[in-house]
Amino acid sequence: MPPAGGADRRQFYINGQWREAVDPELFTIAEAATERPLGVAAMGGPSEIGEAVLAARAALDNGPWGRSTPHERAETMRRFADSLERRGESTARLVSQQNGMIWPLSIISNAAAPVAILRSMAELAEARTFETRRPSKKGHTIVRQEPVGVVGAIVAWNYPQLLAMAKIAPALAAGCTIVLKPAPETALDAYVLGEAAEDAGLPPGVLNIVAGGVRAGEALVAHPGVDKIAFTGSTAAGQAIGEAAGRSLKRVSLELGGKSAAVVLPDADLDVFARSLDDAVFKNGGQTCTTNSRILVPHGRSQEVLDVLAAYVDDLAMGDPLDDAVTLGPMVSDQHRERVRNYIRLGESEGFQLVRGGAEPPDGLTRGWFVSPTIFGGVDNNSRLAQEEIFGPVISVIPYESEDEAVRIANDTVFGLGGVVFTEDHEHGLDIASRIRSGTMGINYFSMDMGSPFGGVKHSGIGREFGPEALDYYLEYRSIYV
């Protein structure tokens, strides 16, 4: 049974049981909008990670999961989805309290979407052919798609349930077992996954959950019993994980940062542009890896675009993310708020046009980790403001002279995750989009499609999540010559 004690999570979910932490480090999670303590979570280390990996290995090598059929896995996944669905509203509420995500987005991202991903992957598991026979010169070859093994899943705090399920669901469909390490900032909601797994009858050891910080993450990446690491987080952390995994030749999927560009072409409809801002630019207060934080505009339309952005920001309602009237919540923590504010101060010191916002606290919000949505005009693409991922509601408007220059500026970044082209000529927009090196692009809007592959190029990552393609990253091909 899951632990009692309100929001506190002082136990880990390992091998189908709730295990007491031995001499744990305790992490206090505060409510982002009020700064009041919300709960306490035990942070695991190498010992707890080692125990979880051994449980996952045993479930794969010796337990029923390792011998399960795709149909059996799909049935278990559907029960898991049903169990999560019953907990969806309370889970979404808890996530909003922890990271400041507004309620309408949280109920989609942390309740509906994880359930939909599980059910979709269950269908894919049943529909996929995991074994084929091919004629060869001396007989035939059996080609099997087998689980990659034990998966270490490390997820960020900004969309915790969605990011976790983006790894758990394809891993389960492939027949893998999992050790999930959620971020400390959203450790409380992570264990709902353990409760739902227990309720759904997942065999012991198939899903293990150990919240923790850097020590736990390093232990998971380095553990010889882990076959693959699936990570979502910062590019710097992803580089360190890729380097460590490479030394032991572990498989990796890395979904990392971005500094995406929205290219406003001369013929763009600014009403369409304005309607896209919720999803493409300000989603989750900018705490989204695909945020189009660089907006490229023709010199002749710069003021028009700045006016649209200013009007949008003026209409935002900041406050408690659980209030239906609120359209912009706080940052996840005081530390992250100060990081975002420092970038705003940097933009101010570099002399860019401050159209809205600034580093000062928003009026009337004396509690909570709020940052004023900030628009800078006339930004130089070579500046740190335009080159580094801020992960907050800070937007750089960058003028350009020609479409070729716009494409050059859009590509002048180490990242390649998202982007949008705004134009009334869709075919021309598609041509411009095809010249921008990015894993995903939109024409006149940006909204992720869970049925299609998502991921980045360059420093934005390796591998893809969502859609049928996600399953490929949890399988190994084996040939048997007969």
Domains of the chain: 11-256+459-481 (3.40.605.10), 261-449 (3.40.309.10)
Residue ranges of alpha helices (H) inside 64-222 are 70-86, 88-99, 103-107, 113-127, 160-174, 187-200, 214-222
Is residue 44 classed as helix, strand or coil in its secondary structure?
coil
State residue 460 phi and psi, 5-degree precision.
-90, 0
CA distances in angstroms from 421 to 12, 65, 402, 448, listed in the order given: 45, 46, 14, 15
Does residue 23 carry a pLDDT above 80? no
The active-site residue out of 85, 255, 403, 465 is 255
Res 428: pLDDT? 98
3-state helix, strand, coil in the chain (%, to 5): 45, 20, 35
Give residue 21's pLDDT band: very low, low, confident or very high (50, 70, 90). Answer: confident
CA dist 266 and 375 (Å) reads 21
Tell me what the pLDDT averaged over the chain comes to: 96
Question: Which residues, in sequence order, are CB contacts of 171 under 8 Å at separation 6+?
Answer: 147, 151, 153, 177, 178, 230, 474
Q: Which of 454, 375, 389, 372 is nearest to 418 (CA)?
A: 454
Q: Tell me the residue ranges of DSSP E strands in 341-438.
A: 353-356, 374-377, 394-400, 419-422
Quote the percentage of the chain above a pLDDT of 70: 99
Find out whether 347 and 385 touch, Cβ atoms under 8 Å: yes
Res 22: pLDDT? 78
Residues 413-449 as b/e (b if ≥16 CB within 10 A, e otherwise) read bebbbbbbbbbeeeeebeebbeebbbbbbbbbebebe
CA dist 147 and 174 (Å) reads 5
CA dist 175 and 466 (Å) reads 17
For the chain, how many helices (H) and strands (E)? 16, 20
Find out whether 262 and 420 touch, Cβ atoms under 8 Å: yes
Find out whether 30 and 62 touch, Cβ atoms under 8 Å: no
Quote the percentage of the chain above a pLDDT of 90: 96
Residues 45-72 as b/e (b if ≥16 CB within 10 A, e otherwise) read beebbbbbbbbbbbbbeebebbebebee
CA dist 423 and 134 (Å) reads 48
CA dist 407 and 289 (Å) reads 20
Task: Give pLDDT tens digits for 149-164.
Answer: 999 999 999 999 999 9
Antiparallel, parallel or unpaired: β 353-356 and 207-209: unpaired
Residue with more model confidence, 214 or 6: 214
Q: Is 255 assigned a catalytic role? A: yes
Task: Give pLDDT tens digits for 443-467.
Answer: 999 999 999 999 999 999 999 999 9
20-24, 27-31, 316-320, 387-391: range with lowest mean pLDDT: 20-24
Does residue 299 carry a pLDDT above 80? yes
Res 77: pLDDT? 98
Is residue 27 classed as helix, strand or coil in its secondary structure?
strand
Task: Give pLDDT tens digits for 302-352.
Answer: 999 999 999 999 999 999 999 999 999 999 999 999 999 999 999 999 999
The model carries a pTM of 0.96
318 DSSP β-pair partners = 328
